[in-house]
Amino acid sequence: VITKLAAYELLAQERP
Amino acid sequence: GDFIPLRSDWISLFYDTGHKVTSDDGSQYAFRAITTRGEYLWLVFSAGKTRGYHAETTCPHSAFAEAREALTYRRAVKSRWDDVRAVARALRRGKLRFDVLIEDAMESPLCAMGTRHFLRSFGLSGIKRISGFKLAWMMLIEPQLGFVIYQAALREGVLS
């Protein structure tokens, strides 16, 4: 399970 | 702010409202999302539907197509829901006996990610086959299992 912070960082990297 | 946590259909995820794609015909939109297990997906919303579809494609346009196909298939099965409930009832009462395979879930209109997370929640990860009896009882907890029972009933020739 990943933390909220890690999830937000990963999503930010996905931004175009 | 930009990121929103969401739990639905056995999946816990975060989606990015700052990363939204709209379909060409404007009837669907998708947010980039990640599950709490670190799996990327597109959370697809379609016109007239409040709940999102979980698509694991990398391309959002493939995600729109997958969600559209699933919704069309779901509508078709829903129109036969009385039959599905009758089969489930017969399985629970032992009047019908057949196993349900993981392939039935894969061919059903349920998203693969939801199936995976559901099985994990029940300690059934990696299961390939389950008795229709058990699954029909589980359907009382998760009615969407009716879509899987329908698929198995088709394969068994119980429904056509």
Assigned token pair, B120: 């994990």
Q: DSSP assignment of A1-16, as one string?
A: ---HHHHHHHHHHH--
B122 touches chain A (CB under 8 A): no
Confidence band for B135, pLDDT divided at 50, 70 and 90: very high
Q: Mark which residues 56-115 of B lie under 8 Å from A by CB.
A: none
For an interface test with B, give the residue of A2, A9, A11 to mutate (most B CBs within 10 A): A11
Assigned token pair, B100: 């349900």
For residue B38, list chain A residues with Cβ-Cβ distance below 8 A: 2, 6-7, 10
B3 touches chain A (CB under 8 A): yes
pLDDT tens for each residue of B26-78: 999 999 999 999 999 999 999 999 999 999 999 999 999 999 999 999 999 99
Beta strands in B23-103 (DSSP E): 28-35, 40-46, 53-55, 99-101
A4 touches chain B (CB under 8 A): yes
Q: Give bridge partners of residue B13 from the DSSP assignment.
A: B6, B35
pLDDT of residue B112: 97
ipTM confidence score? 0.97
Are B6 and B13 in contact by the 8 Å Cβ rule? The answer is yes
Q: Could B19 and A11 be called an inter-chain contact, meaning their C-beta atoms sit closer than 8 Å?
A: yes
Are B21 and B30 in contact by the 8 Å Cβ rule? The answer is yes
Q: Tell which residue, B41, B42, B51, B36, has the closest CA to residue B5.
A: B36
Shortest CB distance from B19 goes to which of A4, A6, A14? A14
Confidence band for B12, pLDDT divided at 50, 70 and 90: very high
* Cβ neighbour number for residue B11 with a 10 Å cutoff: 23
A5 touches chain B (CB under 8 A): no
B120 touches chain A (CB under 8 A): no
